[in-house]
Copies of this chain bind each other. A is one copy, B any other.
Amino acid sequence: MNETTAASSEIEFWFEFGSTYSYLSVMRIEEAARRHGVDIAWRPFLLGPIFRELGFEGSPFTQQKEKGAYMQRDMARQCRKLGLAPWQTPSVFPRACVLPLRILWTGRDEAWIGAFCRKVMERNFVLDQDINSVEAMTDVLDQLGLPAAELVRDAQSEPVKAALRAQTEEARRRGIFGAPTFFAGKEMFWGNDRLDDALAWAASDIER
Interface residues of A (CB under 8 A from B): 54-55, 64, 66-67, 69-70, 73-74, 77, 80-81, 175-178, 187-190, 193-194, 197, 208
Contact = CB atoms under 8 A, between A and B. Distances in A.
Given A69-B175, A80-B208, A208-B80, A190 B74 contact: yes
Q: How many identical chains are in the complex?
A: 2
Nearest to A73: B188
B177 A64 contact: yes
Given A190-B74, A197-B77, A175 B66 contact: yes
Given A55-B55, A64-B54, A80-B208, A70 B193 contact: no
A190 B70 contact: yes
A158 B178 CA distance: 43
B208 A70 contact: no
Nearest to A172: B66
> 10 closest pairs, A vs B, by CB?
A66-B175, A66-B177, A193-B193, A67-B177, A54-B64, A70-B190, A70-B188, A64-B177, A69-B175, A70-B175
25 contacts: A54-B64, A54-B66, A54-B67, A55-B55, A55-B64, A64-B177, A66-B175, A66-B176, A66-B177, A67-B177, A67-B178, A69-B175, A70-B175, A70-B177, A70-B188, A70-B190, A73-B187, A73-B188, A74-B189, A74-B190, A74-B194, A77-B197, A80-B208, A81-B197, A193-B193
